[in-house]
Amino acid sequence: MNLKSQIEGARGDAAGLERLYKQALVAGNEAAFKEAIGRCAGEHPENVLFSAWAYRLDVLPPPPLVVAPEGQTVNQSQSRRWWTAVATSVVLGVVYALFARDRPPIPIPGEADPLFWIGWGPLTALGILFYLVMVDRSERRIYRYAGLAVIPIAVYTAVTAWSRTDDIAILSALHLPFVAWAAIGTALTLGHPDPARQCYAYLVKSAETVLVGGIYFAAGAIFLGLTYGIFAVLGINLPQDVLQTVAAWGIGAIPVLALASVYDPMAAPVAQDWTTGLTRILRILTQLILPLALGVLVVYIFWFVPAYFWRPFQEREVLIVYNATILAILVLLTVVVSGPVDERSPRQDTILRYAVQALVGLILFLNVYALAAIASRTFNFGLTPNRYAVFGWNIVTLLMLAVVGIRQWRGRSDPWVYIFRESIARVSVLAVAWALWVLIGLPLSFD
C-alpha cells in the first residue's frame, strides 16, 4: 500500500495521520507525505482533517471563494486574476510594439532595435511580477524586491551593450532573459518553506508556461498568416511595418497570458495542479522522448564520437550542437520526473530510475567531451567572449550533472525521485550564478 492510500485510510483518524507523518519524518519521506496530503486534500475537499494538514504543511492555498450577499458563491480572485492578466498583457504588447519601432521584433542585436532586444526580457519579468503583486497581495514585498533586482541589471546591460552588435551583445541578449526568469523564480521560491521543492516546482511550471506560450504564439502566427492571405487574395497587400508591429504586440502580450493559464498565483509552486492539463501532457511527452534520447545518445557516443573524434575540436558548429544537446537533456531530466510519484507502479518507477541514471551518465560523458573540445579551442585559438561563456557553461553543467549523479548513487536506498528533484533544484543556482556573471562580468573582462 503506497503512502497516499495509507493517508486516505486514516481520513477520520487524527492520531493515525499524525503517526504516519512521524514515520515519514523518520524515513526521510517528508516530501512524499506533503505531496500525498496535497493530493488527498484536493481529491477530498470535504475532509476537514486533510485540509487542516494541507494548511499546516503549506501545500494548499487559502480558499479564494467568497459568499455573495445573495448566497451565491463568487470566485472574485479568479475574476481579478484574469482581468489583471489581460490588462497587463495589453500594456506589455503596446510597449513592445513601440520598442520594436520599424525593426524586426526579434531579440538579436543588429537586427532589432536596442530597446527591444534589451528590454523584452526585463519588461516581461516586470509584467509578470506586477501581475503576481496584484493577484496575490500577501507577498507583494518579495515581488517588489525581485523587480528592483531586474531593473538595475537591465540598465547595466543597456549601458554596456546598447550600440554593440558583437559577441558580447549577443551573449547579453541570451543571458538577460534567463536572469530575469531567475528573479521571478527567486520571488516565488523564497516566499514559501522548503525552497528546494518550491524551486523544482517552479522549473517544471516554467517549462509548461513556455509550452503554452508557444501554442499561443503558433495560433497567433496562423491567424496572422490567414489574415495576410485573405487580404492578398483581395489584392490588398498589408505593409510590412504593420505585420511587424502586430508580431511585436503578440510577443509582449503572450507571456503573462500563458502564465495565467497554467499557474495559480494564490498557491505555492508545489501546490499547483500536477495531474491535469498541459502538465500531464508535458510529463507524458518527456517520458516518450526519454528512450529516444537514450537511443540517439548511445549511437552518437559509441559510433559517431569515435569515428569523428576531432570534429568538435575543429568545427565550432559541431560544438554548438553538443552544448545545445546538453542543455536540452537537462530540461528533459527536470521535467520527466515531475508529477505524483504514486501514479507509477514500482516496476515503472524502477525502469524510469535506471533510464534517468543512464541518461545522466551518457550526457555527463558528452559534457566532458565538449569541455575538452572548448578547452582545446581556447588553448589553440585564444580566449574570446564566446569561448569564455561556453567554457564556463560546460563547467557549470558538468558540476550539475556530477552532483545529481553522485547524490543518486549515494541515495540508492532512499526515495530516488525526491532526491533527484532536490538535486536539480539546488544545482540550478550554479546556472543562474554563471548567467549573471556573464551578463555583468563579461563586458568588463573584454573591454
Within 10 angstroms of residue 185's Cβ, the number of other Cβ atoms is: 22
Which set of grid coordinates corresponds to residue 393?
557553461
Residue with cell 545522466: 360
User: How far is it, in rounded angstroms, from Cα 262 to Cα 260?
Assistant: 6
| C-alpha closest to that of 12 among 46, 60, 61 | 46
Which set of grid coordinates corresponds to residue 163?
550600440
User: How far is it, in rounded angstroms, from Cα 220 to Cα 240?
Assistant: 17
Instruction: Evaluate whether 127 touches 256 at the Cβ level (below 8 Å).
Output: yes
Instruction: Evaluate whether 196 touches 428 at the Cβ level (below 8 Å).
Output: no
| C-alpha closest to that of 358 among 336, 382, 380, 338 | 336
Q: How many residues in total does the chain contain?
A: 447
Q: What is the chain's pLDDT, residue by residue, as a tens digit (447 residues)?
A: 567 777 777 776 677 778 888 877 777 677 777 877 777 776 676 677 777 877 777 665 555 444 444 444 345 567 778 888 999 999 999 999 999 888 888 888 888 899 999 999 999 999 999 998 888 766 556 777 888 889 999 999 999 988 888 889 999 999 999 999 999 998 888 867 778 888 998 999 999 999 999 999 999 888 888 888 888 888 888 787 888 888 899 899 999 999 998 888 888 888 787 766 677 888 888 889 999 999 989 998 899 888 888 888 888 888 998 999 999 999 999 998 887 776 777 788 888 889 999 999 999 999 999 999 999 999 998 899 999 999 999 999 999 999 998 888 876 656 788 889 989 999 999 999 999 999 999 888 886
Sketch the domain layout of the chain as residue ranges. Answer: 3-60, 73-271, 277-445
**Residues in a beta bridge with 109:** 112
Does residue 1 sit in helix, strand or coil?
coil
Does residue 96 sit in helix, strand or coil?
helix
Which set of grid coordinates corresponds to residue 58?
503549506
Within 10 angstroms of residue 65's Cβ, the number of other Cβ atoms is: 11
Alpha-carbon distances of 179 from 95, 149, 363, rounded to whole Å: 21, 10, 25
Which set of grid coordinates corresponds to residue 44?
477530498
User: How far is it, in rounded angstroms, from Cα 291 to Cα 233?
Assistant: 47
User: How far is it, in rounded angstroms, from Cα 292 to Cα 84?
Assistant: 41
Alpha-carbon distances of 218 from 97, 224, 247, 320, rounded to whole Å: 18, 10, 11, 26
